[in-house]
Amino acid sequence: MQCETLKTGTECAFMAKSGCGFIGGSCRSIAEKCEGCERVMSHNETKYCLAFPDPSVRWRLGNCSMATHIKAASAKAEASKVRVGQQKQKKK
């Protein structure tokens, strides 16, 4: 639906027939860590996230799951590390 609060005229996933579905009735501006993400949109000199209405909450416990400017560390890459220089001991 079209946003009717802060980002008037743009598509917003949080809008409902009764108004903005987010707590407080409007989206919050992005956090500093969001700079460089592809999901950031600028409207009236204020930047908003297209994926979350309050982006600062996504950064409280670590990296944002939807951030496009940060590479996610994969568990497979850490597990595939090979130890070099170790030798097995012989049984006597």
- Kindly state whether residue 7 falls inside one of the protein's structural domains: no
Domains: count for the chain: 1
DSSP 38: T
- Kindly state whether residue 35 falls inside one of the protein's structural domains: yes
Domain ranges, residue 35: 15-71
Closest CA to 27 of 37, 36, 39: 39
- Kindly state whether residue 89 falls inside one of the protein's structural domains: no
63-87, pLDDT tens digit by residue?
888 778 787 665 555 556 666 666 7
- Kindly state whether residue 38 falls inside one of the protein's structural domains: yes
- Kindly state whether residue 50 falls inside one of the protein's structural domains: yes
20-38, pLDDT tens digit by residue?
777 777 778 888 888 888 8
- Kindly state whether residue 81 falls inside one of the protein's structural domains: no
